[in-house]
């Protein structure tokens, strides 16, 4: 499917920090991104999930998390509409420990739950809907607890229960900076601006950032922007110039050079090499 304009940016206009709902998706939900986090749990139907230019299956039991740095598109199979639970939430909803776990394991957060695991996960989402509608005593606490259980179960399923590597714990000040970066990398961010989010001097922040992530601030930013760029090159017909500047690059020449160095060819050549591209 071809799209001639930038993906929609969905804003968190709901004042609540968490908004659970249930939907039926019977037609393509086009390429978009949002400033909030989003959990989706498929309870019926079949389809395809395009996440950052990669294709993943959708069927009963699949659970996935989409972050503010992701582009995605949902395509249901004809006559097999997707019925799903959806939870939108902001980063303020999560405790620091859970946010740290999610950023340490930065990968595709998607897993399938079957049998009794499906039933348990379905009950968790149903309880979120119920508490959101009834707003009884302690509903917000129950909803936060339910969301955290869902995310931890997803994280365990994605990592197959393996233990975290030694030394991967990220300092809280760097963690806050990472969250800020993932929300604002499309904007002109400087080391000085981001270090201010952590309350550290630029030089000390740079040292701590490299120790925590294994990458320099500049390299990390470029990698994040290139990931967004290749997702748009792969899954849209947006012009390369628009992609360049809307993914946070301020120089077209630098963008082309960085893209070629990372992916082995220029953006237009990469797009033509994709399946179903003329």
Domain boundary among 135, 159, 183: 159
Residue 183: phi, psi to the nearest 5? -85, -25
Estimate the crossing angle of helix 202-213 against helix 217-235, to 10 degrees. Answer: 60
Q: Does 185 reside within a domain?
A: yes
Estimate the crossing angle of helix 217-235 against helix 191-198, to 10 degrees. Answer: 110
Q: What is the pLDDT of residue 168?
A: 43
The per-residue pLDDT string of the chain (278 residues; one tens digit each, 9 = 90 and over) reads 233 344 454 444 544 578 999 989 888 888 777 778 899 999 999 999 988 777 889 999 999 998 877 778 899 998 899 999 999 998 778 877 787 777 655 557 889 999 999 999 999 999 999 999 888 899 989 999 999 999 999 988 987 744 443 334 456 778 778 878 887 888 888 999 998 888 889 999 999 988 888 889 999 999 989 988 988 888 778 899 999 998 899 999 999 999 999 999 999 999 888 766 54
Q: What is the pLDDT of residue 198?
A: 81
Q: Does 1 reside within a domain?
A: no
How many CA atoms lie within 13 Å of 209's alpha carbon, on the beta-carbon side? 27
Domain boundary among 131, 159, 187: 159
Based on the fold, state whether residues 139 and 237 are members of the same structural domain.
no
Based on the fold, state whether residues 38 and 133 are members of the same structural domain.
yes
Q: What is the pLDDT of residue 182?
A: 80
Q: What is the pLDDT of residue 277?
A: 52
Based on the fold, state whether residues 186 and 154 are members of the same structural domain.
no
Q: How far is CA 60 from the centre of its chain?
A: 21
Q: What is the pLDDT of residue 170?
A: 54
Instruction: Give the count of domains, the chain.
Output: 2
Q: Does 149 reside within a domain?
A: yes
Based on the fold, state whether residues 209 and 233 are members of the same structural domain.
yes
Based on the fold, state whether residues 269 and 198 are members of the same structural domain.
yes
Range of the domain at 90: 8-159
pTM (two decimals): 0.71
Based on the fold, state whether residues 131 and 62 are members of the same structural domain.
yes
Q: What is the pLDDT of residue 10?
A: 47
CATH of the domain at 200: 1.10.10.60
Q: What is the pLDDT of residue 166?
A: 34
Residue (of 89, 96, 91, 92) closest to 132 by Cα position: 89
CATH of the domain at 63: 2.60.120.280
Domain boundary among 159, 182, 206: 159
């Amino acid at each position: 499917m071809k799209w001639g304009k930038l993906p929609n940016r969905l804003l968190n206009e709901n004042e609540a920090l968490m908004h659970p709902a249930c939907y039926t998706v019977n037609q393509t939900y086009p390429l978009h991104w949002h400033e909030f986090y989003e959990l989706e749990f498929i309870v019926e139907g079949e389809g395809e999930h395009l996440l950052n230019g990669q294709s993943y299956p959708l069927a009963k039991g699949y659970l996935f998390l989409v972050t503010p740095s992701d582009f995605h598109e949902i395509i249901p199979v004809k006559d097999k509409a997707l019925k799903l639970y959806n939870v939108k939430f902001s980063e303020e909803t999560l405790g620091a420990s859970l946010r740290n776990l999610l950023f340490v394991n930065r990968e595709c957060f998607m897993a399938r739950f079957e049998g009794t695991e499906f039933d348990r996960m379905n009950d968790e989402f149903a309880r979120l809907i119920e508490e959101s509608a009834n707003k009884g005593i302690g509903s917000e606490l129950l909803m936060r607890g339910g969301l955290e259980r869902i995310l931890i179960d997803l994280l365990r399923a994605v990592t197959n229960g393996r233990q975290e590597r030694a030394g991967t714990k990220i300092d809280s000040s760097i963690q806050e900076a990472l969250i800020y970066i993932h929300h604002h990398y499309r904007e002109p961010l400087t080391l000085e601006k981001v270090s201010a989010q952590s309350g550290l001097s630029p030089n000390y922040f740079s040292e701590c950032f490299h120790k925590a992530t294994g990458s320099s601030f500049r390299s990390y930013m470029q990698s994040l922007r290139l990931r967004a760029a290749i997702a748009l090159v792969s899954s849209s017909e947006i012009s390369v110039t628009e992609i360049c500047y809307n993914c946070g690059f301020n120089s077209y020449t630098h963008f082309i050079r960085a893209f070629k160095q990372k992916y082995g060819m220029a953006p237009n050549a990469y797009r033509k090499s994709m399946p179903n591209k003329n």
